[in-house]
Each structure stands twice: as C-alpha cells, then as structure tokens.
Amino acid sequence: MNASVYEQLLRIVEQRGAGFIVLIDPDKLGLDRVPDFARRCVEAEVDALFVGGSLLHATELGEYVERIKAACDLPVIGFPGSLSQLSPALDALLYLSVISGRNPEYLIGQHVSAAPLIRRLELEPISTGYMLVESGRSTTAQYMTGSEPLPRHKPDIAAATALAGEMMGMKLIYADGGSGADQPVPDELVAAVSEACSVPLAVGGGLSSPDEVHRKVLAGAQLVVIGDAIENDPAGAYVSELAAAVHGARAAVEPSQ
C-alpha cells in the first residue's frame, strides 16, 4: 500500500530534520513558466509543492497542476483559498481551518461545503490548523478571511491556540505571516508552538534568506514554506541555498552518531 502524502511529509521530516516546501501561486507564476520552475525545484532538492492563492483567477487549476506533475514527481498539495481551488489532479490538499480567527466561515463553514466534493474527488485531506500571525501590515490572507492575526509578541497565545488545534484533531499546524508579510513569524513564537505541540509545525510568510529559514528550523519548525521570495527571484541557485539551509539546520546542532 502506498504511503499517504501526509506520511511522506512525516518521513521527510524524520530523514532530513525538516522539509522545504515551495508555495506556487498560479496568479503569479504563469503557466508557460511552470515546467522550468518545477524542474529547478527538483534540482534544488525541494521536498514538496503547495499550489494555491487567495484569488486564483489566472488559469484553470487542474491544467496548472497537470503541467507541474508532467515536469516533476514532487508531491503537489493544494493550498486552497476557496472551493474553486480543488482538483483531482492534486495529490492531497491542506484542509485549512483558520484557528487564529473567529470567523465561522473559515473555521467550519467552507469545510462543510467542501467535504462532499473532496470525498467525490478522492483527495487526501490533511487537516491543518492555520494560524495567521501579525506581520507588520495587513496581508491578503487576513483581508480575505476577515480574521484578526495572532499578536506576534504573545507566543503563549499562539502556543495555546496551536495546542487547541491539535486537541481538535489537526494533523498539522501552520503558522503564517501571510503573503507579502513585512516580518516573518518570530523565532520565540515558533519555539513556543513547537514545544506545545506534537504534530508537525509548518512556518511561512516573510522568509527571504537562508539565515531566516535556518533560524526557523532551529526554533522548531519542521516544514518551512517559501512563496513570494522565490517568485520574485526564481533562480535555481537561490532555491538551492534556501533548501540547503533548511535541510542542514538540524544537522548543524546535532552531535554526529
């Protein structure tokens, strides 16, 4: 029996110490650029791809995902901003509940509408407690979900929120500054959430340098997600530097066996 995508992510974390994931927004990366970009991700040792965005109006998702999968064999996981961002071409999708906010539509409302379609499409849902974190300015995700972000200087609130998500059955916690964040999620907040929870922690938003992603892994992130920084500078060498910083962070502090 083939391992689920979630099990593949767990294996990546176990084997490499942390996983490096690239988030592709089809509204920002044109269909004609997809094959070359996907191949560069493979060469850079990216572990998986997230696909989605807050709007997604530039192209048909199924065609976009198929173009990615024709160019590489990385897991392609949906990061849906709405019900329109579902396709049987995806290997799995993040079943996102915005646990940092109090908007019922993004805590459970959209999920009720999506569940029968996800079952019909035979997609693997990865239940994810999504936490928006204050990043210095209002982000697209904050605006679209109508959700107040967690205060960046209150790691105890973030830890309690993440723990509540785990207790409700979430298989993944995702702390995100949001697309175009001015500041990444603070290391102290990452450490507090990682210490509180036993499920994997993904961190994204506002990360743009090898040093930043390295510090997030040392603080406790098990999956690091990069989007805008790579879209703005998709050179293969840059992606490789970020991947190496993620994969090498734990090894740098762990004693050799």
Torsion of CA 182, 188, 194, 200, to 10 degrees: 20
Locate the DSSP E strands across 190-250: 201-204, 223-226
**Residue found under tokens 């509180």:** 196
Q: What are the beta bridge partners of residue 172?
A: 128
User: Which band of pLDDT confidence, cut at 50, 70 and 90, is reported for residue 253?
Assistant: low
Q: What is the CA radius of gyration of the chain?
A: 17
| pLDDT given for residue 8 in this prediction | 98
Position with higher pLDDT, 166 vs 142: 166
Query: Which distant-in-sequence residues (6+ apart) come within 8 Å of 71 by Cβ?
Result: 34, 35, 36, 38, 39
Sign of CA dihedral 38, 40, 42, 45: negative
Instruction: Tell me the pLDDT tens digit for each residue of 53-78.
Output: 876 665 689 999 999 999 999 999 99
Q: What are the beta bridge partners of residue 226?
A: 22
Instruction: Tell me the pLDDT tens digit for each residue of 4-15.
Output: 999 999 999 999
In 3D space, the residue among 248, 244, 202, 204 whose CA is nearest the CA of residue 226 turns out to be 204
pLDDT over 70 at 112, yes or no? yes
Are 162 and 203 in contact, with CB atoms under 8 Å apart?
A: no
Average confidence (pLDDT) over 238-249:
93
Average confidence (pLDDT) over 214-226:
97
| pLDDT given for residue 231 in this prediction | 65
| pLDDT given for residue 82 in this prediction | 82
Average confidence (pLDDT) over 141-146:
84
Domain 5-250 architecture: Alpha-Beta Barrel (3.20)
Report how far residue 45's alpha carbon sits from residue 243's, in angstroms, rounded to the nearest whole number: 7
Average confidence (pLDDT) over 123-141:
92
Cα–Cα separations (whole angstroms), residue 244 to 101, 114, 213, 253: 34, 36, 10, 15
| pLDDT given for residue 147 in this prediction | 85
pLDDT over 90 at 28, yes or no? no
pLDDT over 60 at 161, yes or no? yes
Instruction: Tell me the pLDDT tens digit for each residue of 190-205.
Output: 999 999 999 999 999 9
Report how far residue 23's alpha carbon sits from residue 77's, in angstroms, rounded to the nearest whole number: 9
Q: How many CA atoms lie within 13 A of 112 on its CB side?
A: 6
Q: What percent of the chain has pLDDT over 70?
A: 92
Domain locations along the chain: 5-250
User: Which band of pLDDT confidence, cut at 50, 70 and 90, is reported for residue 36?
Assistant: very high
pLDDT over 50 at 241, yes or no? yes
Task: Supply the mean pLDDT for the chain.
Answer: 91
Report how far residue 130's alpha carbon sits from residue 127's, in angstroms, rounded to the nearest whole number: 9
In 3D space, the residue among 225, 101, 136, 216 whose CA is nearest the CA of residue 172 turns out to be 225
| Number of other residues whose CB lies within 10 A of the CB of residue 151 | 12
In 3D space, the residue among 115, 58, 61, 120 whose CA is nearest the CA of residue 89 turns out to be 61
pLDDT over 60 at 18, yes or no? yes
Average confidence (pLDDT) over 42-63:
85
| pLDDT given for residue 218 in this prediction | 97
User: Which band of pLDDT confidence, cut at 50, 70 and 90, is reported for residue 256?
Assistant: very low
Q: What are the beta bridge partners of residue 77?
A: 50, 92
